[in-house]
């Protein structure tokens, strides 16, 4: 794998230039890191993920990829996959195949069919679902398709916001297996989750967000 490191340097953020939501956060994401972020409701976890994903820009400090600001790296969005909370609510295609291939086509990548098949295999989506409407899927299948759609372009880093929410026990166990497979490939993960039992033993770093500040705690 190419070298890959994302670094947050003294990164602060506010939505309205008054109250800081995130205060001077420092964090490094390296290959094979599995980073769990925990914190109360409203602590700023989703905001932090959006900053790492380049969807929001820091007010001060910076986010670097391999030492360069992420907004100067035109390929940055190809290096990450961002699965927002309830990502399946943003489905926009007529078929599961098109949904999974959506980002890869946008990035004008080659070998679309192979990419979709690989991503589907990684998350356990059967090819018999490819021609189905993504809106006809069970909640567990829909979540898998949402994740596969962020894997088909073969990113280095998967960013997941509360991916276990809304899944039944089987769906949660199946998602845990997806994350184990992803990690085995040497890829990185940043995940926000309350349901820490499903990431038990996976995280090598755990951070707690509290009143905008960040502290590293022991892995569970």
Ligand X SMILES: Nc1ncnc2c1ncn2[C@@H]1O[C@H](COP(=O)(O)OP(=O)(O)O)[C@@H](O)[C@H]1O
- Structure-token pair, residue 65: 């990829």
Backbone angles phi, psi at 182, to 5 degrees: -60, -45
Within positions 91 to 150, which residues make up the interface with ligand X, using CB under 6 A?
Answer: none
By beta-carbon proximity to Mg ion, the closer residue of 15 and 135 is: 15
Cα separation values, 25 from 105, 111, 184, 196, Å:
34, 39, 28, 22
By beta-carbon proximity to ligand X, the closer residue of 84 and 125 is: 84
- Binding residue (CB under 6 A) for ligand X from 8, 27, 36, 43: 43
**15 is an interface residue for ligand X by CB under 6 A:** yes
Query: Candidates 44-52, 86-94, 127-135, 150-158 — which segment interacts with ligand X by CB under 6 A?
Result: 44-52
Within positions 5 to 24, which residues make up the interface with Mg ion, using CB under 5 A?
Answer: none
Query: Cβ of residue 181: shortest distance to ligand X, in angstroms?
Result: 26
Cα separation values, 45 from 68, 80, 127, 170, 202, Å:
24, 18, 34, 26, 19
- Separation CA 213–CA 220 (nearest Å): 20
- Binding residue (CB under 6 A) for ligand X from 26, 42, 136, 177: 42
**39 is an interface residue for ligand X by CB under 6 A:** yes
- Binding residue (CB under 6 A) for ligand X from 23, 44, 96, 137: 44
Q: Among 138, 175, 177, 181, which residue's Cα sits nearest to residue 160?
A: 175
**163 is an interface residue for ligand X by CB under 6 A:** no
Contact 127, 89 (CB under 8 A): no
Q: CA 131, 132, 137, 143 torsion: positive or negative? A: positive
Contact 198, 175 (CB under 8 A): yes
Task: Answer yes or no: 162 catalytic.
Answer: yes
Q: Which does 15 bind (CB under 5 to 8 A by kind): Mg ion, ligand X, none?
A: ligand X
- Structure-token pair, residue 61: 């400090």
Within positions 31 to 70, which residues make up the interface with Mg ion, using CB under 5 A?
Answer: 45-46
Query: Cβ of residue 112: shortest distance to Mg ion, in angstroms?
Result: 32
Q: Total residues contacting ligand X (rule CB under 6 A)? A: 10
Tell me which residues touch Mg ion (CB under 5 A). 45-46
The catalytic residues are 162
Per CB under 6 A, residues contacting ligand X are 15, 21, 39, 41-47
């Amino acid at each position: 794998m190419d070298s890959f490191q994302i670094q947050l340097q003294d990164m602060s953020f506010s939505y309205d230039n008054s109250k800081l939501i995130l205060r001077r956060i420092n964090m490094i994401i390296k290959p094979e890191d599995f980073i769990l972020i925990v914190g109360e409701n409203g602590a700023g976890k989703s905001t932090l993920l959006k900053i790492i994903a380049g969807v929001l820009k820091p007010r001060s400090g910076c986010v670097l990829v391999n030492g360069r600001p992420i907004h100067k790296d035109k390929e940055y969005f190809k290096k990450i996959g961002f699965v927002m909370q309830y990502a399946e609510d943003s489905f926009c295609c007529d078929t599961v195949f098109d949904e999974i291939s959506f980002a890869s086509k946008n990035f004008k990548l080659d070998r679309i069919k192979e990419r979709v098949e690989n991503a589907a295999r990684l998350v356990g989506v059967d090819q018999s679902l490819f021609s189905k409407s993504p809106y006809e899927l069970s909640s567990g299948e829909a979540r898998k398709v949402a994740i596969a759609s962020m894997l088909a372009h073969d990113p280095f880093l998967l960013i997941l916001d509360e991916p276990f929410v809304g899944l039944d026990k089987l769906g949660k166990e199946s998602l845990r297996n997806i994350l184990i497979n992803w990690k085995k490939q040497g890829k990185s993960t940043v995940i926000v989750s309350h349901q820490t039992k499903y990431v038990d033993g996976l995280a090598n770093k755990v951070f707690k967000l509290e009143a905008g500040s960040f502290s590293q705690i022991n892995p569970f």
